[in-house]
Amino acid sequence: MPIASIASYELPPEGSWPSCRAPWNFEPRRAALLVHDMQEYFLEPYDPGLPPLRQVLAHLQSLRDACDSSGVPVFFSAQPGEQSRTERGLLWDLWGPGLVERPALGALGLEPRSDDVMIKKRRYSAFHGTALAKLLAERGRDQLLITGVYAHIGCLATAIDGFMRGIQPFVVADALADFSQEDHLVALRQVARTCGVVTTAGAVVTELNLGRLRAELARLLGGAVASIPLDDDLADHGLDSVRGLELLERVLPPNHGLDFEVLVGARSLRSLARLMSPRSRARSGAEGAEGAEGADAIAV
């Protein structure tokens, strides 16, 4: 029973899901990122050049880059290619033998890096029959960013399972894909109403970038920096040109490709956080300092 071809659909826009009942705020020091089942077997039904997969892959790349820079651990879940009927359980009745039919499609659509943790799973939830909860606890993490496929099946099951284990789920709406926009929305609605927070890749990347900036500012300036408003000129809080350059060296990669005018024009936490996102850096480099203020999907 192979998975049927999935027609292109637009990702659900912000505001299309209800307000979240959960009052939690995302805190990078408590969080881990889960890339759920992004295997070629599950991605093959999509056209990679069309929505939703095109956007999902771009958002996932931005998320995992920001997580790496912020010290947020990254976990990948994947189903093994060889499973007996006993191992597969009732999934066999609904979906057939799965990857065993085409084991070559067990390769991941988004490759893990050397420090990432791979979780082998055989059921919908990434917690069921795995060490995920234990590994999160060992790292002091009790918030889980959930991304991947399919939103209303494994991703939703993982969010509910995590909630019941005392782990706060943060489901990243535009880093998920599903069979249709309606199926996608079913998952977002259920999470928002019953078990977690629905957020976006841009919101998460913003928080990760701002967390890094505030930590580096605290090292450079000392004292409390958490209360600095996002749009204040940092010079008013003691950041002179020498320490400003040092801050940029710490938060931007060596090959950032930004013009000097763009760098000196970034004087607030908000503008600096924009420059830390790869796609925003590319936009800024092409359009200059004024272009850096334009919004894109991952901009602050």
Q: Quote the tokens at residue 138.
A: 């060992």
- Residue 152 annotated as catalytic: no
Q: Which of 59, 115, 116, 121 is catalytic?
A: 121
Whether 36 sits among the annotated catalytic residues: the reply is yes
Enumerate residues 6+ apart whose C-beta is below 8 A from 91.
98, 122, 123, 124
Query: How wide is the angle at C-alpha 118 spanned by C-alphas 196 and 65, nearest 5°?
Result: 70
CB atoms within 10 A of CB 56: 28
**To 10 degrees, the CA torsion angle through 129, 62, 220, 217?**
-90
What does each C-alpha distance from 201 to 50, 105, 198, 210, 245 come to in angstroms?
A: 18, 27, 10, 14, 28
Evaluate whether 247 touches 220 at the Cβ level (below 8 Å).
yes
> Would residue 240 show up in a list of annotated catalytic residues for this protein?
no
Q: What phi and psi, each to the nearest 5 degrees, are found at residue 57?
A: -65, -40
Separation between Cα atoms, residue 126 and residue 156, nearest integer Å: 10
Which token pair is 202? 């841009």
Q: Which entry of 37, 161, 174, 178 is annotated as an active-site residue?
A: 37
Q: Which residue in 253, 254, 288 sits closest to 69, CA to CA?
A: 253
Catalytic residues, by residue number, are 36-37, 121
